C-alpha cells in the first residue's frame, strides 16, 4: 500500500495532535469532520505503523497509545485522581453522571465551588496524587484540557465528550472483583515522576 | 475473613431470598455479634432449600451486610446503611408479596380443573364453588399486582424527589431491591411465562362452556365473571407494561451511574491504599504520548517525513565521529549499518529493506531520518552518497511489498 501524502493533506497535522494524546471531537471542527468522513482510510494509515485510531461511540477520536519503558504519559495519574474525586462529588450530590458532567443547559462547573474538597477522603486522594495545592490542581486541569477532556478558563470547567473515557474506565474498574483489582497493582507508578512530566508539559 | 466485591444486584437477590435473616438482624441493629451468634441467627430463620446457616452467615460477612466492629474481625454489627434501607421500607406499607400473588396464579390451574370436572359430571354445585374461587383469585391477583406496582412506582417518585443526601449508589440499591422483590417476579409471570394468560383465557372459556351446559341457575353471574376475567387480564398487562416502561430505564441509568460511582470509589481507595494509582489501572486508559524524543530533533525535518509515522520514540541516535572518535552505545551500530547500506548505492526502497532486515526493531521512519541526515552536505560523509541527496524525500513513498516495516 502506498501513502499518497497529497491525498491526506491534514495527515501531518492530525498526527501531531493525536500523538500528543489529543482527543478530537466535534468541537474541533474540520479535524473532527476529516476523521469522521474518512475514518476507515485514516484507520488503515495509522494501522500501517502500529497505532490504532479509535472511534468512540461518544463521537470522538483518539490514538490508542502504548507505554514504553522509561516513558510515561504526562500527568495521567493526576488526571485520574482528580476525575475520581469529581465523580464522587457528583455521586454524593445525587446527580447522575450525565446530569453533573454534561448538564442539558450546557453550563460549566466552577472550580471555585468544587475546590474546597470538603471531604477528608477527597483530600487524601489528592495528596496521594501529589495534588497538594491550587497550582497542582490547575496544572492537572490544564493537562486535561490539552488531552481534550475539558475546557478550562481558570474557573469554569466544561466537560467534553472525551471525558466519557473516564466513565468507561470507572465502569470497567467497578465491575472487577478483588482478584482482578489485585492483579492490576503491578509495578506501582510513582506520581512524583508524573508531576515532573506535567510540569514540563509540551 | 477475606471478602470479595459483591455487586448490588447480588445483594438484592440475597435480600429477596433471605429477607427473614435481614429482618432478624434489623431487630438487633444496635447489637454486636460474634460469628457463632450470626450463625445462630441464620439458623433461627432457616428454611428448607436454604444453604446452611454457616454459609448464610459467611455471605452476610462477604457482602458486608454485617460490618466488622474491630480490626480483628471477631465482632460484627448490622450495616447501618442497610438498616436505614429497611427502616425506610418499614415506614411504607408492605404490599402483598409477589410470592403470594404467584401462588394465586398457580391456584388458577386447580380451579380450572374443577370447572372442567364440573362440566364433565354435570355438577352445578362444583361449578358454583369453582366460580366463587375464580372470582376470589382474580380479585387477589388484580389487587396484589396493582399494590406491588404502585409501591415500586412510589419508590421511583420518592427517589426522584429525594434530596442530595441519598447517594446514587444508595438510590440504585433501593430501587433495585424494590424492583427485584415486588415487580420483577410479576413481570416474569405476566410477560415472560405465558401460564397466567393461558390460565385466564382457559378460565373464561370454561365458564362459558359451564354456562352453556346449564350449570349456573343465573346466566348473569357467569357472564359477569367472564367480563371480570377479561378486565383483570387487560389491567394486569397494562400495569406491568407501564411499570416496566417507567422503571427499567431509570433502573438501567441508576445502575450505570452506580457502576461509575463504584469504579471511582475503587480508584480512590487504590490511591489512598497504595499512595499512588497502580500502573495496571493507568494502562486501562491508554493515551498516546508525545514522541518528543524523535529520531532527530531536527528543525529541518520536513513535513513529509513527519507524515511517515513513527510508533515508538527511539532514543536519539548518535552519529559516530568520522574521525573514529566517540561512539554511543547501541545506536552507533544502527548508524554504521545505515552508512554501509548507503554505500551500496541502490534505490531507496532497497536500502530501506536492507537496513530494516538488519535492524527489525527500527521503523522506516527511523531509517529515512538517518539517510536524510547523512545525505546532507554538512554531515561530512563521502560524496558517493550524492545520488541519494537528489532523492526527493518530500515525495517519499513507502511500499510495503518491498519493505519489511518493523512494528513494535
pLDDT of B112-133, one tens digit each? 999 999 999 999 999 999 999 9
A165-174, A175-184, B224-233: segment of lowest average pLDDT:
A175-184
Q: Which chain A residues touch B282 with a CB distance below 8 Å?
A: 67, 73, 76-77, 80, 189
The C-alpha of A156 sits at a distance from chain B's nearest C-alpha, in angstroms, of: 22
Q: Residue B294 has what pLDDT?
A: 35
Q: Which chain B residues touch A101 with a CB distance below 8 Å?
A: none
Dihedral sign, CA of B383, B384, B386, B388? negative
Q: Residue B125 has what pLDDT?
A: 92
- Per cent of chain B over pLDDT 90 is 13
Provide the angle, in degrees to the nearest 10, between the axes of the packed helices B195-212 and B124-161.
150
Quick one: pLDDT band at residue A44, thresholds 50, 70, 90?
Answer: confident
Given strand A150-152, what is the order of strands in its sheet? A109-110, A156-159, A150-152
Instruction: Count helices and strands (H / E) in chain A.
Output: 11, 6
Q: Residue A175 has what pLDDT?
A: 82
Q: Tell me how far apart the alpha carbons of residues B303 and A8 are, in angstroms, rounded to a whole number.
A: 12
Q: Residue B344 has what pLDDT?
A: 64
Contact flag A172-B278 (C-beta cutoff 8 Å) = no
Q: How far is CA B137 from the centre of its chain?
A: 39
Of B262, B265, B278, the CB nearest to A186: B278
Q: Which of B252, B287, B307, B316 to mutate to test the interface with A (most CBs of A within 10 A)?
A: B287
Q: Residue B119 has what pLDDT?
A: 94
Q: Residue B315 has what pLDDT?
A: 40
Contacts 24+ apart (CB under 8 A), B73-78: B73/B1, B74/B34, B74/B35, B75/B32, B75/B33, B75/B34, B76/B32, B76/B33, B76/B34, B76/B35, B76/B38, B77/B29, B77/B31, B77/B32, B77/B33, B78/B25, B78/B26, B78/B28, B78/B29, B78/B31
Quick one: pLDDT band at residue A168, thresholds 50, 70, 90?
Answer: very high
The DSSP-derived string for B45-64 is T--TTS--HHHHHHHHHHTT
Q: Tell me how far apart the alpha carbons of residues B402 and B57 are, in angstroms, rounded to a whole number.
A: 68
- The average pLDDT across A142-155 equals 91
Contact flag B400-A96 (C-beta cutoff 8 Å) = no
Q: Which chain A residues touch B290 with a CB distance below 8 Å?
A: 19-21, 74, 202
Contact flag B165-A94 (C-beta cutoff 8 Å) = yes
Contact flag A94-B256 (C-beta cutoff 8 Å) = no
> Which regions in chain B score pLDDT beneath 50?
1-3, 290-330, 380-387, 393-408
Q: Residue B372 has what pLDDT?
A: 63
Higher-confidence position of A42 and A198: A42
Measuring CA to CA, how many Å separate B267 from each of A162, B39, B270?
Answer: 19, 34, 5
Of A48, A95, A177, the CB nearest to B4: A177
Contact flag B289-A51 (C-beta cutoff 8 Å) = no
Q: Which chain A residues touch B310 with a CB distance below 8 Å?
A: 49
Of B168, B303, B405, the CB nearest to A12: B303
Q: Residue A166 has what pLDDT?
A: 94
Q: How far is CA B228 from the centre of its chain?
A: 42
Contact flag A190-B282 (C-beta cutoff 8 Å) = no
Q: What is the pTM of this model?
A: 0.59
Calculate Rg over the CA atoms of chain A: 18
Q: Which residues of A6-28 are buried (b: 16+ CB within 10 A; e: fewer)?
A: eebeebbbbbebbbbbbbbbeeb
Contact flag A80-B276 (C-beta cutoff 8 Å) = no
Q: Residue A119 has what pLDDT?
A: 81
Mean pLDDT computed over every residue of chain A? 81
Residues A98-144: tens digit of each pLDDT: 989 998 888 899 988 887 787 888 888 888 888 888 888 999 999 89
DSSP code of residue A202: -
Q: Residue B178 has what pLDDT?
A: 85
Q: Residue B134 has what pLDDT?
A: 92
Q: Which ipTM was obtained for this model?
A: 0.86
Amino acid at each position: 500500500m502506498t501513502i499518497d501524502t497529497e491525498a491526506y493533506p491534514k495527515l501531518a497535522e492530525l498526527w501531531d495532535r493525536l500523538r500528543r494524546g489529543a482527543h478530537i471531537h466535534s468541537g474541533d471542527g474540520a479535524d473532527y469532520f476529516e476523521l469522521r468522513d474518512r475514518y476507515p482510510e485514516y484507520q488503515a494509515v495509522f494501522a500501517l505503523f502500529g497505532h490504532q485510531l479509535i472511534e468512540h461511540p461518544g463521537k470522538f477520536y483518539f490514538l490508542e497509545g502504548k507505554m514504553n519503558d522509561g516513558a510515561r504519559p504526562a500527568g495521567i495519574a493526576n488526571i485520574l485522581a482528580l476525575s475520581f474525586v469529581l465523580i464522587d462529588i457528583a455521586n454524593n450530590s445525587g446527580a447522575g453522571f450525565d446530569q453533573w458532567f454534561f448538564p442539558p443547559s450546557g453550563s460549566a462547573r466552577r472550580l471555585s465551588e468544587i475546590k474546597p474538597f470538603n471531604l477528608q477522603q477527597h483530600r487524601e486522594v489528592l495528596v496521594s496524587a501529589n495534588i497538594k495545592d491550587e497550582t497542582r490542581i490547575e496544572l492537572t486541569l490544564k493537562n486535561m484540557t490539552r488531552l481534550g477532556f475539558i475546557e478550562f478558563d481558570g474557573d469554569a470547567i466544561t466537560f467534553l465528550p472525551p471525558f466519557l473515557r473516564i466513565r468507561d474506565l470507572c465502569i470497567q474498574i467497578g465491575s472487577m472483583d478483588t482478584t482482578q483489582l489485585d492483579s492490576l497493582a503491578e509495578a506501582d507508578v510513582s506520581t512524583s515522576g508524573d508531576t515532573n512530566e506535567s510540569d514540563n508539559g509540551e | 475473613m477475606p471478602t470479595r466485591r459483591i455487586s448490588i444486584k447480588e445483594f438484592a437477590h440475597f435480600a429477596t431470598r433471605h429477607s427473614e435473616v435481614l429482618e432478624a438482624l434489623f431487630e438487633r441493629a444496635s447489637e454486636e455479634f460474634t460469628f457463632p451468634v450470626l450463625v445462630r441467627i441464620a439458623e433461627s430463620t432457616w428454611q428448607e432449600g436454604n444453604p446452611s446457616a454457616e454459609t448464610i452467615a459467611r455471605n452476610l460477612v462477604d457482602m458486608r451486610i454485617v460490618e466488622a466492629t474491630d480490626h480483628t474481625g471477631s465482632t460484627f454489627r448490622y450495616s447501618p446503611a442497610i438498616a436505614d434501607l429497611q427502616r425506610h421500607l418499614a415506614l411504607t406499607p408492605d404490599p402483598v408479596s409477589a410470592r403470594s400473588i404467584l401462588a394465586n396464579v398457580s391456584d388458577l390451574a386447580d380451579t380450572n380443573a374443577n370447572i372442567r370436572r364440573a362440566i364433565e359430571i354435570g355438577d352445578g354445585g362444583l361449578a358454583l364453588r369453582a366460580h366463587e374461587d375464580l372470582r376470589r383469585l382474580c380479585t387477589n391477583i388484580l389487587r396484589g399486582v396493582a399494590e406491588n406496582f404502585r409501591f415500586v412506582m412510589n419508590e421511583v417518585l420518592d427517589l426522584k424527589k429525594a434530596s442530595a443526601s441519598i447517594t446514587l449508589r444508595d438510590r440504585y440499591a433501593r430501587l433495585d431491591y424494590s424492583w427485584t422483590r415486588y415487580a420483577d417476579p410479576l413481570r416474569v409471570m405476566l410477560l415472560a411465562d405465558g401460564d397466567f394468560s393461558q390460565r385466564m383465557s382457559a378460565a373464561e372459556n370454561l365458564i362459558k362452556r359451564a354456562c352453556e351446559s346449564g350449570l349456573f341457575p343465573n346466566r348473569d353471574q357467569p357472564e359477569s365473571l367472564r367480563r371480570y376475567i377479561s378486565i383483570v387480564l387487560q389491567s394486569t398487562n397494562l400495569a406491568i407494561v407501564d411499570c416496566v416502561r417507567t422503571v427499567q430505564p431509570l433502573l438501567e441509568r441508576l445502575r450505570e451511574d452506580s457502576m461509575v460511582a463504584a469504579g471511582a470509589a475503587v480508584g480512590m481507595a487504590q490511591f489512598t491504599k497504595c499512595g499512588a494509582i497502580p500502573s495496571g489501572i493507568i494502562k486501562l486508559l491508554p493515551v498516546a504520548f508525545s514522541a518528543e524524543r524523535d529520531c532527530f530533533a531536527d528543525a529541518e525535518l520536513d513535513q513529509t517525513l513527519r507524515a511517515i509515522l513513527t510508533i515508538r520514540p527511539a532514543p536519539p541516535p548518535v552519529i559516530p565521529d568520522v574521525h573514529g572518535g566517540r561512539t554511543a552505545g547501541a545506536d552507533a551500530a544502527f548508524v554504521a549499518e545505515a552508512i554501509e547500506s548507503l554505500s551500496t548505492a541502490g534505490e531507496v526502497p532497497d536500502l530501506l529493506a536492507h537496513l530494516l532486515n538488519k535492524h527489525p526493531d527500527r521503523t522506516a521512519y527511523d531509517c529515512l531520518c538517518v539517510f536524510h541526515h547523512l545525505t546532507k552536505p554538512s554531515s561530512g560523509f563521502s560524496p558517493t552518497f550524492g545520488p541519494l541527496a537528489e532523492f526527493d524525500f518530500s515525495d517519499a513513498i513507502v511500499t510495503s511489498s518491498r519493505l519489511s516495516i518493523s512494528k513494535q
